[in-house]
Amino acid sequence: MNKENYFISCLENSYIGDDAAVIGNYVYSKDAFFENVHFKREWLTYKQIARKAMLVNLSDAVAMNAEPKYALLSVAMPKEMSKTDMKSLADGFLEVAQEYGISIIGGDTISNTKLDITITIIAKTQRALKRSKIRHGYLFAHTGVLGGAAKDLRKLFNLGSLHSKSKFINIKLRKNFVTKSERILKAGMDISDGLFSDLAKMTELNNIGLVFHQNIAKSIACSGEEYEMLVAFDKRDEKAVKRRAHQSRTTLNIFATAIRNRYTNRCKAHHF
């Protein structure tokens, strides 16, 4: 058990284990977006930092088939940030909030040595998409193309620059696909720690293994912060899922089948 999972196990809370906590019809999620951990200020504008922080947090709600309603912001800001910088940061938060129909209802601001952001999202759902309920023979698929986030991160560390449409800067959430497919998807989560690592969470929870349909390079499958969807569904619904992917203009890659063996994650832990 890695340190992240060990710490979570110490909390002994039955709501912890999915992308967000589901209580009644409400879905609650919270993620940190910290300078020098998730980004460097020289890589992104303040507006881009705020947009990405919001989208990273919204990804959890979208992954659980929930409609985001409210956001609480906590922002720790360096003293050298100007009012212009603060306005740019605020504009990024507000822009994403308006795009998704979210009200920013409160939070906290403090002075800090670096820019650290945490956001709580409150969403509503009638049919939560969880990580459980996967059976032998179900198909696994992911949306989009993986590997771009890690590739772009390497560029930044090598002092390169990124296009404004880079996945590292501009996350594309798969809300339309999840909403259209809610009645046929059996399980799902967003890919934040890399495909292989997130598969480990789902396979362990459901006590299953996998047989891959093709080899997937570690450079692709270990790329974190992709924020694509990882989903499982009954093979009898394959055509229906493909049809909904087409309707939502979503690339869908069916790559594995659930079987009764043991899955081994080949990626290093991202958190500890």
Q: Please compute Rg for the chain using Cα positions.
A: 19
Task: Walk me through the domains of the chain, giving residue ranges and CATH numbers.
Answer: 19-124 (3.30.1330.10), 139-259 (3.90.650.10)
- Angle, alpha carbons 58-96-228 (nearest 5°): 40
Residue-level pLDDT at 159 = 85
147 — alpha (psi -120 to 50), left (phi > 0) or beta? Answer: left
Alpha-carbon gap, residue 176 to 248, rounded angstroms: 6
Evaluate if residue 30 carries a pLDDT over 70: yes
Average pLDDT over residues 48-60: 96
Tokens of 47: 């507006």
pTM: 0.91
Evaluate if residue 12 carries a pLDDT over 80: no
Alpha-carbon gap, residue 190 to 231, rounded angstroms: 9
Taking only the tens place, the pLDDT of each residue in 178-214 is 999 999 999 999 999 999 999 999 999 999 999 999 9
Alpha-carbon gap, residue 67 to 102, rounded angstroms: 9
Residue-level pLDDT at 165 = 83
Q: β-strand 187-190 against 229-233: which pairing, if any? A: antiparallel
Query: Contact 37/115 with Cβ under 8 angstroms?
Result: no
Q: Please, what is the end-to-end C-alpha distance for the chain in angstroms?
A: 11
Residue-level pLDDT at 128 = 95
Where residue 167 falls among pLDDT bands split at 50, 70, 90?
Answer: confident
Q: β-strand 187-190 against 116-124: which pairing, if any? A: unpaired
Q: Report which of residues 164 and 87 the model is more confident about.
A: 87
Average pLDDT over residues 64-79: 97
CA 54 to each of CA 84, 88, 139: distance values in angstroms, whole numbers, following the listed order: 20, 14, 31
Average pLDDT over residues 123-131: 95
Nearest to 223 by CA among 201, 194, 196, 200: 194
Alpha-carbon gap, residue 210 to 90, rounded angstroms: 44
Evaluate if residue 40 carries a pLDDT over 60: yes
Q: Report which of residues 5 and 171 the model is more confident about.
A: 171
